[in-house]
Amino acid sequence: MAGLLAWAADVVGAHGNNHELSEDRIPIVFAEDQRKYVQELDSKASSLSRSIQDLRLRLPSPDISRRLPHILAHSLASNAALALQLNAHSATKEQVFLIVLQFAMLKGYCMLAYKLLSISSSEEIEIHDEKLFGISEVGGGIKISMLKDKAESPALAELRKVTLQEENAAYEKAILNCENKLQERMQETDLLLQKLQVRHYFRINMEMDETEQTLMEELENAETALDVRQSGKSVKSVDASETPAEAGLDAEAAKSDILEKMDNKKKDMSSMEEIVKDLEKRWVQIQENALKQPTPAQREKLLDKQLHNLMEQLAAKQAQAEGLVGEIHLKEMELERLKGLWRMIESSNVEGNTARNRFGRSTSEKGSASTDYMVDKLPYSTGGRTEHQERLMLLRSAFVMYILFLNIVVLIKLSF
């Protein structure tokens, strides 16, 4: 049975181990079309394996995949899909292996027994009630021949072509998906680089602050050391005075350098403080201007209030005007009534005067005086009536002008 399995592994194309019964293997003899088909399958399998290796090379290193587990999952899924496609391409070899294995199992032969026994007649294998392959012994080997009609071979080839095209399309889709994922990862790396740059900038600022603090500490230490050395100069002898002088010069040089650095830092800080003060002043001015000038919403509210007040005033003035117009109309009606009465009285007076003149002018002085008094009284009364009418007309025109002036004022306020 071990020899049978080794022989099947050779058929599939795997690398079998060096077995002790390698000399007992029986070679398989294929037809020309079968050999070409197997070679095509081998070339496709090798191309797929090369493409898988290229994709694996394109994938990032394992440490990055461990840091990003979703990339590892996608790569494993793509590898599984490509492995399934490779297995689909090698399905024909597996079918041949299964057919030969089924034939050997049905006959109950193992490899050694199959070699010792002589097979004179060719055997046929039926799968799903169709004769597909024929196995016969030719020159110490096994020959597998197709028994299906030649008319059906183009249909099988077309079917295989369609399946291969579908598999290639799926493979291209998988490659496109992998490329899209790689682009997304590149974008993520760009974002990470930007974040790292920002962090580096903040780190540099922190380092500058730390260096400033260290320089301040060094300056203080140098000043203290200088004070100590100056205090100890009076105690030391003249012979040992040269070395402290040199040390003092070095300390003074270091102190001058540190002071220059500190001055530069102070200048930078003062310039920054001035800029901040200017910005604060501008901000205060902007806030004051914003408080002084009302917002559009506040302006709209004020204008609405003014309009409402003006409308109320206009309504009140119109009501007053209507009341005054009604009073004027009543006064005019009363005036007309009084005019009618005056005409009636005047006509009655005229009739009385004519009657008196008819009886004669030989009346008493008292009667003449009374008649003269009545006649003289007429112009006086008529003059009073005309003055009253003129006053009413002036009052009416003044009221109309007042209403017109109010309307003009309201229109001006609404326009502004």
The pLDDT tens digits for 325-376 are: 888 888 888 888 888 888 888 888 888 778 777 766 555 554 544 444 444 4
DSSP tally for the chain: helices H, then strands E:
10, 4
Q: What is the pLDDT of residue 14?
A: 43
Residue 296 neighbours by CB distance under 10 Å? 8
pLDDT at 130 over 60: no
pLDDT at 160 over 60: yes
Q: What is the pLDDT of residue 42?
A: 85
Strand partners, 142: 28, 137
Angle of helix 91-107 relative to helix 32-58, nearest 10 degrees, comes to: 130
Give 291 or 327, the one with higher predicted confidence: 327
Quick one: average pLDDT of 286-294? 76
pLDDT tens digits, 37-68:
888 888 888 888 888 777 777 665 555 545 55
Quick one: average pLDDT of 144-170? 65
DSSP-derived secondary structure for 335-351: HHHHHHHHHHHHHHHHH
pLDDT tens digits, 211-260:
888 888 888 887 787 777 776 665 555 454 555 556 667 777 777 888 88
Q: Which residues, 6+ apart, have CB-to-CB distance to 60 below 8 Å?
A: 71, 185
Residue 168 to residues 53, 91, 223: CA-CA distances in angstroms?
17, 16, 81
Predicted confidence band of residue 279 (pLDDT cuts 50, 70, 90):
confident
Provide the mean pLDDT of the chain.
Answer: 69
In the chain, where are the structural domains located? 2-148, 296-358+374-415
Q: What is the pLDDT of residue 111?
A: 47
Comparing C-alpha atoms, which of 7, 5, 177 is closest to residue 81?
Answer: 177
How far apart CA 72 and CA 77 sit, in angstroms, is 9
DSSP-derived secondary structure for 374-394: HHHHHHHHHHHHHHHHHHHHH
Record the pTM.
0.23
Q: Which residues, 6+ apart, have CB-to-CB distance to 145 below 8 Å?
A: 31, 133, 134, 136
Do residues 125 and 135 touch, judged by C-beta distance below 8 A?
yes
The H-or-E segment that residue 205 falls in is helix 153-233
Q: What is the pLDDT of residue 218?
A: 81
Quick one: average pLDDT of 274-302? 81
Predicted confidence band of residue 93 (pLDDT cuts 50, 70, 90):
low
Q: What is the pLDDT of residue 400?
A: 81
For 39, the token pair is 């070679």
Q: What is the pLDDT of residue 23?
A: 47
Do residues 135 and 144 touch, judged by C-beta distance below 8 A?
yes
For 329, the token pair is 């109309």
